[in-house]
Amino acid sequence: MLNILFRRLRLRDFTLRRELEALAFQDALTGIDNRRSLLEKLQAWYPAQMGHFLMVDIDDFKSVNDDFGHDVGDQVLQEVATVLSRHPDISLCGRLGGEEFGLFTRLIDHGQVHALAGQLIRQVNQCRIQQRQLSISVGIVSMDGRIGLSAALREADRALYQAKRHGKNRHVFAMTPEYALAQVATPPRPEAKKKPPQGGLSVSRSDSQAS
């Protein structure tokens, strides 16, 4: 009898520890990784695993809360998290805080990442709350081993800001100083006369425009 009770107590203790671990690393509202978990995984993966980091922000989220209430706002966060996390090319997905999310894809090719961002934007555009179409803005940075994790996050945030500034519902690629320096170190083609770019941004808009 005592052995049975002891086993039950051990099982209960184990279950409680698992639940506490989940709370520490999982966003309670959306069920995806929280900021701590996402950043720890990125630190463990990078630079051995290279790809692109996407910083995503829900457009005009404050107005959703103001117009429809925080319960509807929570529903929006859950729906967008589902869209982002279920895409097959997204390897890591976490909520950074508020209406901001962080994604990591193993895709290296610029064109493939461009297509991925467009797909995510269009999928979110298909979500509607109280007849309002949802949209997201995305800042993207290449994580190819030539930039540190902290710098990559800053560049992605800067690119996200530019996506907002250029009208939202679109994605922007960051051209980091490290990338520019790498281009300088690459011998130019014989016909190229112009100097390589010294950093900048590449703005792309989804085919679908939020109403």
Q: List residues with catalytic annotation.
A: 99
Neighbouring-strand partners of residue 132: 129
Phi (first) and psi of residue 60, to 5 degrees: 55, 35
Q: How far apart are CA 200 and CA 162, in angstroms?
A: 11
Which whole-number Å values give the CA distances from 146 to 50, 55, 79, 109, in the listed order? 10, 19, 34, 16
Name the token pair of 85.
Answer: 């996390």
- Could you tell me if 171 and 118 are in contact, meaning their C-beta atoms sit under 8 angstroms apart? yes
One-letter amino acid at 163 equals A
Tokens of 113: 């990442």
Calpha distance 202→140 (Å, rounded): 10
| Residue 137 contacts residue 169 (beta carbons within 8 Å) | yes
